[in-house]
């Protein structure tokens, strides 16, 4: 049995690895690369293998950096099953159509920019340039796709196409097969899959793949993303595995926070209380970029608790993401994976953790635009989590220059993303005592000064830190021979591998395209 590492090697996004046996090729995750547009466009648009050769896919969880290229597999001829949990299947039914919409919008915008650039070069006066810009739009702000395509065809420009469409997404969703935790499923000749709760987000799973072609058995375990301990809503990562799944020949293990440490998860409620209390005198808006799946629901859970406690003023809370509204319904449909505290705090009292009087879900674009202009004290949770797309961009460009605004970072920001720039530059300015000129960032093509206050809550991360990763390795009942450290910036992966080797384990950090024999 061979394992080839294709994505999230010495970087965080684009999770994808392949297990090959004599008879089957089984893909572990198929995620989108995220970051610089030009680099990710190339990496996302093609595979290093023919998808038609795949037997099945195992999906660890629904986050787009793990699931976002699945429709591209279908587009290129994959016709097997996508094995995952029922909750992940339901979540992907929301997330993947949204991703297709983003792909379509991004392609349209890039085509618009190319045509505008061409036409501007053909004209000279500013008045004519403004006229060109208007001619490529209709109803004030919507792109005129027909007019843009006409110019592209007339001048022989290369048209940017979306990675995939709703059609490919529909095919992909039809290939999903939900399976319960701890229930072995056949995924290839002499090969079975058993899923265990990874404690990362709703429905996330550790995947144990056992291949027994004869008397000898080979076992690979893929962690996907390892969750935290004592987080709200969902259960902790599995530590007790079935006897037949305990002996692991190769563990493919994430390292997002391989050399970093979080605040205790139990402190997150008090940390959120502190951030809101400090922001109150400024009488501004608290902006929270948050992933639609997981982080948004965790924030609502904590805010609901604080409002019930009477700890903070009950200012309006807005969730500005139609996708988040859909995903929150998915959470409501899977209480079987909630932890005991959630049942006790809310469900046994007849309360929905994700609904309270001060909360409003923003649906229409018009509502979102009105909220952009609103300067009254409020809390706005908007996607996307890394600030690379979505409605959060418009909230940022309206509010980031205002010193009364607080931007609360509650999740991981990958290198080269807008969210990472805001966090790094904002905290540097904050740590300098906010002296001198505020740093700036480019949002939707325009530079904005970052006068807003930047706060972080690392404890809300869905990824375990180094201590929690080590806890999983040393306190679970697994017997692990070798560890491939993936899904982390290179410095994090190398640091974790060094730590593990220093503890007597056998760990290595693979290169993209590297194959190891099990």
Q: Flag the least confident range among 35-44, 102-111, 293-302.
A: 35-44
Predicted confidence at residue 385, as pLDDT, reads 87
Q: Does residue 416 register a pLDDT over 90?
A: no
The secondary structure element, H or E, covering residue 456 is strand 453-456
Helices (H) then strands (E): counts for the chain: 16, 24
Query: pLDDT (tens digit, 9 = 90+) per residue, 216-237?
Result: 999 999 999 999 999 999 999 9
Q: Does residue 133 register a pLDDT over 70?
A: no
Asked whether 82 and 173 are in contact (CB, 8 A), the reply is no
Cα pseudo-dihedral 152, 153, 155, 158, rounded to 10? 60
Predicted confidence at residue 388, as pLDDT, reads 86
Pick from 259, 187, 295, 254: which is nearest to 7 by CA? 254
- Given pLDDT bands bounded at 50, 70 and 90, which one contains residue 123? low
Asked whether 339 and 235 are in contact (CB, 8 A), the reply is yes
DSSP 477: S
Sign of CA dihedral 301, 304, 308, 310: positive
Predicted confidence at residue 125, as pLDDT, reads 64
Q: Which residues contact 144 (CB under 8 A, 6 or more apart)?
A: 135, 136, 137, 138
| pLDDT averaged over every residue in the chain | 93
- Given pLDDT bands bounded at 50, 70 and 90, which one contains residue 17? very high
The secondary structure element, H or E, covering residue 303 is helix 295-309
Asked whether 297 and 341 are in contact (CB, 8 A), the reply is no
- Given pLDDT bands bounded at 50, 70 and 90, which one contains residue 358? very high
Query: pLDDT (tens digit, 9 = 90+) per residue, 152-207?
Result: 998 899 999 999 999 999 999 999 999 999 999 999 999 999 999 999 999 999 99
Q: Does residue 362 register a pLDDT over 90?
A: yes
Spatial separation of the C-alpha atoms in residues 490 and 365, rounded to whole Å: 39
Instruction: Please count the residues of the chain.
Output: 518
Averaged pLDDT, 120-140: 70
Spatial separation of the C-alpha atoms in residues 491 and 489, rounded to whole Å: 6
Q: Does residue 466 register a pLDDT over 80?
A: yes
Query: Is the model more confident about 416 or about 177?
Result: 177
Q: Does residue 23 register a pLDDT over 60?
A: yes
pTM confidence score: 0.89
Averaged pLDDT, 337-366: 93
DSSP 138: E
Predicted confidence at residue 124, as pLDDT, reads 57
Averaged pLDDT, 322-341: 92
Spatial separation of the C-alpha atoms in residues 74 and 172, rounded to whole Å: 6
Spatial separation of the C-alpha atoms in residues 178 and 193, rounded to whole Å: 12
Half-sphere exposure of 279 (CA within 13 A, CB side): 29
Averaged pLDDT, 336-348: 92
Averaged pLDDT, 249-260: 97
Other CB atoms within 10 Å distance of the CB of residue 398: 20
Query: pLDDT (tens digit, 9 = 90+) per residue, 390-412?
Result: 899 999 999 999 999 999 999 88
Query: pLDDT (tens digit, 9 = 90+) per residue, 259-305?
Result: 999 988 889 999 999 999 999 999 999 999 998 999 999 999 999 99
Asked whether 104 and 167 are in contact (CB, 8 A), the reply is no
Half-sphere exposure of 97 (CA within 13 A, CB side): 13
- Given pLDDT bands bounded at 50, 70 and 90, which one contains residue 134? confident
Averaged pLDDT, 500-509: 98
User: Residue 370 corresponds to which tokens in the numbers above?
Assistant: 């009105």
Indicate the SS3 state at residue 177.
strand
């Amino acid at each position: 049995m061979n394992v080839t590492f294709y994505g999230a090697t010495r970087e965080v996004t684009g999770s994808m690895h392949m297990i090959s046996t004599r008879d089957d090729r089984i893909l572990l995750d198929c995620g989108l690369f995220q970051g610089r547009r030009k680099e990710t466009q190339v990496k996302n648009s093609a595979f290093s293998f023919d998808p038609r050769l795949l037997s099945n896919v195992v999906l660890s969880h629904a986050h787009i950096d793990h699931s976002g290229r699945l429709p591209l597999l279908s587009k290129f001829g994959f016709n097997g099953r996508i094995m995952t949990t029922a909750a992940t299947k339901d979540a992907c039914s929301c997330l993947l159509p949204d991703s297709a919409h983003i792909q379509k919008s991004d392609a349209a915008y890039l085509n618009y920019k190319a045509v505008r650039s061409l036409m501007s070069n053909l004209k000279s006066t500013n008045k004519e340039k403004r006229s060109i810009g208007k001619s490529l739009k209709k109803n004030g702000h919507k792109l005129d796709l027909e007019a843009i395509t006409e110019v592209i065809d007339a001048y022989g420009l290369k048209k940017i196409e979306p990675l995939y469409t709703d059609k490919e997404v529909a095919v992909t969703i039809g290939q999903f097969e939900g399976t319960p935790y701890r229930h072995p499923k056949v995924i290839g000749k002499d090969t079975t899959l058993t899923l265990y709760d990874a404690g990362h987000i709703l429905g996330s799973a550790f995947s144990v793949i056992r291949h027994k072609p004869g008397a000898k058995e080979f076992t690979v375990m893929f962690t996907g993303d390892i969750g935290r301990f004592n987080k709200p809503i969902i259960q902790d990562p599995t530590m007790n595995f079935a006897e037949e799944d305990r002996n692991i020949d190769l563990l493919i293990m994430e390292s997002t926070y391989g050399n970093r440490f979080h605040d205790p998860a139990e402190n997150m409620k008090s940390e959120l209380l502190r951030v809101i209390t400090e922001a109150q005198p400024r009488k501004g808006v608290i902006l929270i970029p948050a992933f639609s799946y997981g982080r948004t629901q965790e924030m609502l859970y904590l805010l609901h608790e604080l409002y019930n406690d009477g700890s903070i003023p009950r200012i309006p809370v807005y969730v500005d993401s139609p996708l988040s509204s859909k995903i929150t319904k998915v959470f409501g449909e899977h209480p079987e994976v909630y932890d005991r505290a959630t049942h006790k705090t809310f469900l046994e009292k007849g309360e929905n953790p994700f609904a309270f009087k001060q909360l409003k879900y923003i649906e229409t674009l018009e509502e979102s635009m009105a909220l952009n202009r609103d300067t009254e004290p409020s809390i706005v949770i908007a996607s996307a989590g890394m600030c690379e797309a979505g409605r959060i961009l418009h909230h940022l460009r309206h509010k980031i220059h205002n010193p009364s605004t607080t931007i609360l970072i509650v999740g991981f920001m990958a290198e080269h993303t807008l969210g990472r720039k805001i966090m790094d530059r904002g905290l540097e300015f904050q740590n300098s005592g906010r002296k001198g000129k505020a740093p700036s960032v480019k949002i939707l093509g325009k530079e904005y000064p970052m006068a807003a206050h930047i706060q972080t809550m690392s404890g809300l991360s869905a990824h375990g830190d180094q201590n929690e990763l080590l806890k999983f390795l040393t306190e679970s009942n697994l017997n692990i021979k070798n560890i491939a450290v993936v899904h982390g910036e290179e410095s994090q992966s190398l640091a974790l591998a060094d730590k593990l080797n220093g503890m007597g384990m056998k760990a290595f950090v693979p290169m993209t395209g590297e194959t190891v024999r099990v």
